[in-house]
Amino acid sequence: MRGRGLGLGVLAVGVVLVVGLHLAAQQGVAATAPATDKYAWLEDVSGDRSMAWVKAENARSAKVLETDPRYAEYLSEATKIAEDPRRLATPDLEGDDVYNFWQDAEHVRGILRKTSIAGYMTADPKWHTVLDYDALAAKDNVKWVREGMDCLYPEDMDCMAKLSAGGEDAETDREFDLKAGTFVEGGFVLPHSKQDVAWVDKNTLLVGRDWGAGTMTKSGYPFVVKEWKRGTPLDSAKEVFRGQDSDISAGAYTLNDAQGHSLTVFYRGVTTFESEEFISTPGGMKQLGIPKKTEGAFLLDGRVIFTINEDWTPAGLSKTFKQGSLVEVKLANVLKDPEHLKPRVVFEPTAQEFLAKVATTKTRLLVTTLDHVQGRAYVYTPSAEGWTRKPLPVPENVSVDLVSTNNLDDRFVLSITGFLTPSSLWLGDAAKATMTLAKTQPAQFDASHDVVEQREATSKDGTKVPYFVVHRKDLKYDGTNATLLNAYGGFQVSETPSYSGNIGKLWLEHGGVYVLANIRGGGEFGPAWHEAGLKTHRQQIYDDFAAVGEDLIARKITSPSHLGIMGGSNGGLLMGVEMTQHPELWKAVVIQVPLLDMLGYEHIAAGASWVGEYGSVSVPAERAFLASISPYEQLKPGVKYPEPLIFTTTKDDRVGPQHARKFAAKMEEFGDPFFYDEIIEGGHAAGADLKEKAKTWATTYVYLSRKLMD
């Protein structure tokens, strides 16, 4: 129902988007590095030989890109955008207070701060610092990166602060009193590990972590959950649930509602998109009779609400619930008979409208959807007969997102954004289905000369693939426009319009065209759109992307000599595939924190987590397909490839820098030119702080300008 909330981070153009996904099981024989891989030595992440190679490649590329006449200007602009004191302070509602994590020139690692809701609604809120991460890093002599907090319902004042050294997924957790703004003396402390925490009550935690030999999966995540009582040693914690080492991970979470109901659920993430859920009963652990492909569990008014990503005919019923539906089951039924539930539909997708996000307030359910990739939002009210729905007033042609909800009342915050529409935050009352404008992002670039269009390309198999084009109103259709095409295409992640100062200031203002493609593999048209590109069907994703590029050329928006592409993480794999399959289509390729060695990915970092998405080399048919698309395998001597910019971070312990390094080294062997940029901190992102991120984007747009505009 919940699954393991890690998954691939998406390094998008101008922003970093981290998406929680289920993880995958390593199936069959454990993958190991091929014996013939001459660049396996670069997999030694921090080894002297590896780091010497990294430093040399960084210096060689920086000598070109950072001496470009545009670099100083781009870096200045990107830094101003990143550190702009007027940018939106994203709110987290807690009772009558608003919390916000903030970074700027003075707070490089950031501060957690708070103000009242009334204060937040003013033009100049008076913020109070709750936790200073810069001060903490200096005190501990550790380059801490904030990873959020796990807090005890309902007041959310007792928290476990999650601290990452340099941005890696492994973390140190320390108990923090949010009300007092101090770490709890003698409180809970969990040392460095990939780990999950769930509060049972003020004195009890459920913890999944590295407990020693035989407690971590082949994917590198915990599968043993223990109950830890306050005041006792960590090693005395009692085991209460165990998955299997072939799982992605196992853990626990607690659902609560404002009416006083609660439910603790234990789960096994058995594949990338499948999990098994259990509850503790007097007769032992009982598995819930729900589909394995479920996600996003909530509890409201004694109803357990979740999304099903596969068609479901519940035990004892003849009715089939449609894939992509939001359904509810009564908590009383769950507790009485976990295997035989009596679900009801809350939301069912149509041919064009699909579920995007769900959240709860004290008495209401909030739902956002995508209607042909256009944002919609609704308030659902529970009743004895079912649910009533009322739309929220949001504009057309924008993206809508649920930012925060309040468990103690019906307030919520919704964001509205578009390519040319500065993001705005709206404070809403779910009980009244009303919204009030709270904040609007000041314009970060001049959009007065630009326009957004939505077009369609026809893929190789005839599928219509929508894409957005952002361009000047006076665009000349002569094939000379510098065009940047971006997509992700995996893990059911939906790519929607969003406002980016970097895209606007460093690209659109200089006359560039920006394109966002909604290719298969994403979630823009529900689970089926994602499943169409799973495992050995993945070539359809790559065909979709190429079709959009060819459509841009056919419309004379651009031409191969002016067309560049960019993507990160799974999108970085997409870039590598497009570069090796269609080198003639692109002039520039930006490959960010990528997967590229698809025959070896299962043994690199958390790679075994994604077998459900990509397939496994232990399955002959899947191995053959992976070999056919793997950029590292398909890179051949004597082919004229575009000169790419390859970006990664040393501290990325999710995908790992190994892919980028080995791909670049093979290009070097073949005498193919490339640019390389590997920063140390940042994890699976563009950097650990605002200045580092600004430098990444300045380097990126200098590269794109050199390739597509000169």
Supply the residues annotated as catalytic.
569, 684
Name which of 495, 496, 452 is nearest 471 in CA terms. Answer: 452
For 243: left if phi > 0, alpha if psi spans -120 to 50, otherwise beta; the answer is beta
Q: 154: cis peptide before it, omega within 30°? A: yes
What one-character DSSP code corresponds to residue 181?
A: T
d(CA 631, CA 542): 12
3-state SS string for 217-230: CCCCCECEEEEEEC
Name which of 585, 512, 503 is nearest 551 in CA terms. Answer: 585
Between vectors from CA 164 to CA 160 and to CA 168, what angle results, nearest 5°? 135
Q: 3-class SS at 60?
A: helix
d(CA 277, CA 286): 8
Name which of 550, 598, 549 is nearest 573 in CA terms. Answer: 598
Estimate the crossing angle of helix 570-581 against helix 658-669, to 10 degrees. 20
Find all residues with CB under 8 Å of 549, minimum gap 6, and list them: 485, 563, 565, 578, 582, 585, 586
Task: Determine phi and psi for 391, rounding to 5 degrees.
Answer: -70, 150
| Contact (Cβ atoms closer than 8 angstroms) between residue 399 and residue 387 | no
Strands 171-177 and 182-183: antiparallel
Find all residues with CB under 8 Å of 236, minimum gap 6, and list them: none
d(CA 266, CA 497): 36
| Contact (Cβ atoms closer than 8 angstroms) between residue 688 and residue 682 | yes
Q: What kind and span of H or E run contains 199? A: strand 196-201
**What tokens were used for 222?**
């915990």
d(CA 710, CA 703): 10
Name which of 318, 323, 331 is nearest 307 in CA terms. Answer: 323
d(CA 611, CA 248): 10
d(CA 261, CA 255): 8
d(CA 202, CA 205): 8
Find all residues with CB under 8 Å of 237, minimum gap 6, and list them: 207, 226, 227, 228, 229
Q: 3-class SS at 339?
A: coil
